[in-house]
């Protein structure tokens, strides 16, 4: 073991190697020195555990690999053929060309984010988006923050700290990433008062829970689950009527940020922001990167007096939206104002895509793979904490045979090939079958998908 330690080269010896010399030409010397020292320290720990002493070449290779990892972004574009349109792990809503152009323009240099060009005075970033949100939703005032979790936290902190907020037990939900309504309540300083049971909540449950410390009544979107069977919920109309009688505001966390009637596309009704405002909710909170189809943001619309209190609260600065996402949000909202969301916003293009078109695209994908690839009927999930259980009919490309356990497990091998590409194509595997869904892929990406499928299938010997 002592000989192993003695055989380790010094820092200077490693830095004199030709490959590290070339690395020093493109990387700061302190960084390379630090990487060399870290690599040698790791080698010493391995030697202490009984491992053999690495060669100088192995040490140099390790340093170069670590430097390459640090200097290369790990965030990569992918093609989502998984059949989940709002896939949280893949970045949720893809953006329209106009939205991306607006974000690019805002990021290139300075902009009048908080500057009034007419007066030369400091302004508010909210003025750029508030009028649009009010026009589209019918609200008196509006505020954009960095996501819906921040919107909920800001509203509860500013309006209900050290007071009580009444929520149905069935709506004290947890969504992806461990985000729980009860935890947000505690963090805000508000006290959650749960009423009703898991499956049934009645108006009298709210009435009996109202006391001198009650600050608000709150409805929370189910997000990613659905209660069926023997259930009863209180409608927003009933909750608003109760709030008016008791002089209490009603907060409505609609979650998905939907602005269109989804029943037109064969989906179950989803609460929309304009509906909540028209029914009398005092504050409506939502995401912008779900069914709104924009960049990540949180939307708060409602009564002017309540929104003004949120704008003045110190937490609003910590939750504020940045200039790039604000530009993207504005561009997305303009699509709705112009009545072109279905034709321009990618998620609505996917949702509204005709089945005949999807079947034709799936056929071309299957032809590119050849072999055992076939087109089968299936379902696309909307996903992203929207429309729990909501699916759309689709046509899938299927590769592999269900229940087959023998090598070479073509589905997994093809899936790995596609995932390892420069622009990965992400599908889903069930059993021994790889499924690829054209509905969650924009038609203009088909060329990349077909090229990837053809090359991957050829390398596995699947093509005819």
Which CATH number characterizes residue 186's domain?
Answer: 3.40.640.10
- Asked which of 324, 344, 364 is the last residue of a domain, the reply is 344
The enclosing domain of 356 has a CATH number of 3.90.1150.180
pLDDT, residue 230, reads 75
Residue 431 belongs to domain spanning: 79-85+347-459
Q: Do 290 and 431 share a domain, yes or no? A: no
380 plus 263 within the same structural domain: no
Q: In this structure, are strands 425-426 and 79-80 parallel, antiparallel, or unpaired?
A: parallel
357 and 327 in a common domain: no
90, part of any domain: no
Q: How many domains does the chain have?
A: 3
Residues 278 and 291 in one domain: yes
Residues 316 and 391 in one domain: no
Answer for the pair 271, 290: CB distance below 8 angstroms, yes or no. no
Same domain, 110 and 160: yes
Q: What is the pLDDT of residue 34?
A: 95
Q: What is the per-residue pLDDT across 235-281, written as a single tens digit (0 to 9) for each? A: 999 999 999 999 999 999 998 899 999 999 988 888 999 999 999 99
**Same domain, residue pair 431 and 291:** no
Say yes or no: 212 and 329 in one domain. Answer: yes
464 within domain boundaries: no
On whether both 188 and 260 belong to a single domain, the answer is yes
What is the model's pLDDT at position 64? 93
Same domain for 383 and 360: yes
pTM here is 0.89
User: pLDDT value at position 406?
Assistant: 45
pLDDT for position 412: 79
State whether 402 and 353 are in the same domain: yes
Q: Pick from 323, 344, 365: which residue ends a domain?
A: 344
Quote the pLDDT of residue 224: 56
- Contact indicator for 154, 315 with CB cutoff of 8 Å: yes
Tell which residue, 118, 75, 102, has the closest CA to residue 323. 102
**33-86 confidence digits (pLDDT tens):** 999 999 999 999 999 888 999 999 999 999 999 998 898 888 899 999 999 999
pLDDT in tens, the chain (464 residues): 456 788 899 999 999 999 999 999 999 999 999 999 999 999 999 998 889 999 999 999 999 999 988 988 888 999 999 999 999 899 999 999 999 999 999 999 999 999 999 999 999 999 999 999 999 999 999 999 999 989 999 999 999 999 999 999 887 766 655 567 777 778 888 898 999 888 888 999 999 999 999 999 999 877 656 666 777 888 999 999 999 999 999 999 998 899 999 999 988 888 999 999 999 999 999 999 999 999 999 999 999 999 999 999 999 999 999 999 999 999 999 999 999 999 999 999 999 999 999 999 999 999 999 887 999 999 999 987 666 667 899 999 999 876 554 445 777 788 888 888 889 999 998 888 999 999 999 999 999 999 999 988 888 877 65
pLDDT for res 2 = 56
* C-alpha Rg value of the chain to the nearest Å: 27
366 in a structural domain: yes
């Amino acid at each position: 073991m002592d000989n192993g330690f003695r055989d380790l080269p010094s820092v200077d010896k490693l830095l004199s190697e030709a490959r590290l010399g070339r690395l020093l030409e493109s990387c700061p010397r302190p960084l390379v020195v630090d990487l060399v020292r870290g690599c040698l320290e790791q080698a010493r720990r391995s030697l202490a555990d009984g491992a053999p002493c690495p060669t100088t070449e192995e040490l140099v290779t390790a340093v170069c690999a670590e430097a390459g990892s640090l200097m290369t972004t790990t965030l990569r574009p992918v093609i989502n053929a998984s059949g989940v349109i709002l896939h949280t792990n893949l970045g949720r809503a893809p953006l329209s060309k106009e939205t991306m152009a607006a974000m690019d323009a805002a990021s290139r240099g300075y902009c009048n984010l908080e500057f009034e060009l007419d007066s030369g005075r400091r302004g508010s970033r909210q003025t750029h988006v508030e009028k649009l949100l009010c026009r589209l939703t019918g609200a008196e005032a509006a505020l954009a923050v960095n996501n819906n979790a921040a919107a909920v936290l800001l509203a509860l902190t500013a309006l209900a700290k050290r007071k009580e907020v009444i929520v149905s037990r069935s709506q004290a939900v947890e969504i992806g990433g461990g985000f729980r309504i009860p935890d947000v309540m505690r963090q805000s300083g508000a006290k959650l008062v749960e009423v009703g049971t898991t499956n049934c909540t009645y108006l009298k449950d709210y009435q009996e829970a109202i006391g001198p410390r009650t600050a608000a009544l709150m409805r929370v979107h189910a997000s990613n689950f659905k209660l069926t069977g023997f259930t009863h919920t209180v409608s927003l109309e009933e909750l608003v009527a109760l709030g008016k009688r008791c002089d209490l505001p009603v907060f409505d966390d609609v979650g998905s940020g939907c602005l269109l009637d989804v029943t037109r596309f064969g989906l179950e009704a989803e609460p929309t922001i304009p509906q909540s405002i028209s029914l009398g909710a005092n504050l409506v909170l939502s995401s912008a990167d779900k069914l709104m189809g924009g960049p990540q943001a949180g939307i708060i619309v409602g009564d002017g007096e309540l929104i003004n209190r949120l704008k003045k609260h110190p937490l609003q600065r910590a939750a504020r939206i940045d200039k790039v996402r604000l530009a993207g949000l504005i561009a997305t909202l303009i699509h709705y104002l112009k009545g072109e969301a279905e034709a321009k916003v990618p998620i609505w293009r996917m949702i509204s895509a005709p089945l005949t078109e999807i079947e034709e695209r799936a056929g071309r994908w299957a032809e590119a793979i050849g072999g055992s690839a076939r087109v089968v009927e299936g379902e696309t999930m909307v996903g992203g904490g929207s429309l729990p259980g909501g699916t759309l009919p689709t046509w899938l490309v299927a590769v592999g045979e269900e229940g087959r356990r023998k090598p070479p497990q073509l589905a997994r091998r093809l899936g790995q090939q596609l995932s390892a590409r420069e622009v990965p194509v992400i599908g889903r595997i069930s059993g021994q079958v790889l499924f690829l869904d054209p509905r969650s892929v924009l038609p203009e990406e088909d060329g990349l998908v077909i090229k990837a499928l053809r090359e991957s299938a050829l390398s596995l010997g699947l093509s005819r």
